[in-house]
Amino acid sequence: MKNFDNFKINYKKVLFRADLNVPVVNSQITDKSRIKSIKPSIRKLLKQKNKIFILSHFGRPKGKIDKQYSLKFLCSILQQEFEINKIYFLENLDEKNILSKIDEMNFGEICLVENIRFFPEEENNDKNFAKKLSKFFDVYVNDAFSSSHREHVSIVGLTKFLPSVAGDSLIKEINNINSFLEKPKKPNTAIIGGSKISTKIHLLNNLVKLFDTIIIGGAMANTFLYSNNISIGISLVEKNLSEDAKKIQVKAKNYNCKLVLPVDAVCSNNTKDKDNIQYCEIKEVLPDKMILDIGNKTINLIKNEILNSKMILWNGPLGAFEFKPFDQGTTEIAHTIKMFAKNLKINSIVGGGDTISSIKSAKAENGFTYISNAGGAFLEWLEGKESPGIRALKKNNV
């Protein structure tokens, strides 16, 4: 796979795929991690005097121009982050506009291209669209691991027509995730939470073969509890997947993987009801109550597993963390990792938007060896699937 160490890019016109799908609340970016992650690659390309055209998506405009999903607002932010005087903006991909912008720019400058998902050809992976776009450029760089599980033009299509190079952030993501899968330090523990088991069946089926302990939390634990005939009141549950939950538990036993489920819970009538909170054993959840967080006994169980581990992988919060006080379980586990991981030399990796948000909310980022900016791509890689974008880079022979 071509990268900056084995493929030189000097005085070239570069199509650079980034993931600038940043979280925005009230017109303010709440997390700039994805912007910061591409800075090493951008700086190298600027230093080597290239004309850089950044491609990204933002939101889901569904192949139509929608001003609320325009990337133009990012120009001033990128200018500040990259510490440069100007960011050009390319409003559309008409041939005349592309050529005009290339002529207008000097080598060693950056142009941000309007949301690539404004074009229906992008998500359809239209070969002709990829070919037409490629003819104006010399090199393609993919530095968007978090988008590389998509078979889109800006991820896989361009690699058929241009020399294609892996950016530094993409390689860093792969190396860090692979260190947990290919060179595990034992004993190792995976903490898997979130709301639905349906999105993580393949993940769990792969992790039971790789980890000594898997801790199941969040609403997805309810499906496991339900499959074990434990009453969970009105809690969120995927009853149709109880057989899958049973099979995962059997598979875990066969691979000598310890599966840890909640032994107590924090319940209420709903996420906004703070007046009727109940703390109970997991087998004592009342018929009209909803499980919204793990209890103290479960927190202590998880802490013990962490302190006895050499590696920790975390994906998914352990409760309804967006609603206090149901963030306590997730926050306490984050603080435990922050307090002990470095002293005990525990390698720790975390991925998934909600998980990262909860860890940042707990101000526990310093406890983790690596924080992945990828969401779906992170999960697919842990499932044992190589992302289409990575395959495309490896196959590139232009």
Q: Which of 59, 63, 108, 353 is catalytic?
A: 353
**Do you find a cis peptide bond into 23, omega within 30 degrees of 0?**
no
Q: Which of 59, 108, 233, 376 is catalytic?
A: 376
Cα angle for residues 248, 249, 251 (degrees, 5° grid): 60
What does DSSP assign to residue 265?
E
Q: Please confirm, yes or no, whether 167 is among the known catalytic residues.
A: no
Cα R_g (the chain), whole angstroms: 23
Residue 62 CB partners (closer than 8 Å, separation 6+): 117
What does DSSP assign to residue 324?
T
What is the spatial distance between Cα 99 and Cα 92, in angstroms, rounded to a whole number?
Answer: 12
Q: Are 338 and 374 in contact (CB under 8 A)?
A: no
What is the spatial distance between Cα 267 and Cα 274, in angstroms, rounded to a whole number?
Answer: 10
Residue 208 CB partners (closer than 8 Å, separation 6+): 214, 248, 251, 252, 255, 257, 259
What is the spatial distance between Cα 311 and Cα 330, in angstroms, rounded to a whole number?
Answer: 18
What is the spatial distance between Cα 297 and Cα 203, in angstroms, rounded to a whole number?
Answer: 26
Which residue, chain included where needed, has tokens 């990575």?
390
Q: Are 20 and 35 in contact (CB under 8 A)?
A: yes
Q: Are 317 and 332 in contact (CB under 8 A)?
A: no
What does DSSP assign to residue 385?
P
Q: Which of 32, 43, 172, 196 is catalytic?
A: 196
Q: Please confirm, yes or no, whether 196 is among the known catalytic residues.
A: yes
Q: Are 88 and 53 in contact (CB under 8 A)?
A: no
Is residue 15 within a helix (H) or strand (E), and if so which, with residue range?
strand 13-17
Query: Comparing C-alpha atoms, which of 169, 183, 95 is closest to residue 133?
Result: 95
Greatest alpha-carbon pair distance for the chain in Å reads 71
Q: Please confirm, yes or no, whether 34 is among the known catalytic residues.
A: yes
Q: Please confirm, yes or no, whether 185 is among the known catalytic residues.
A: no
Handedness of CA 286, 290, 295, 298 (dihedral sign): positive
Q: Within 13 A of 316's CA, how many CA atoms are on the CB side? A: 25
Q: Which of 17, 34, 51, 101 is catalytic?
A: 34
Q: Are 226 and 237 in contact (CB under 8 A)?
A: yes
Catalytic residue annotation: 34, 196, 353, 376
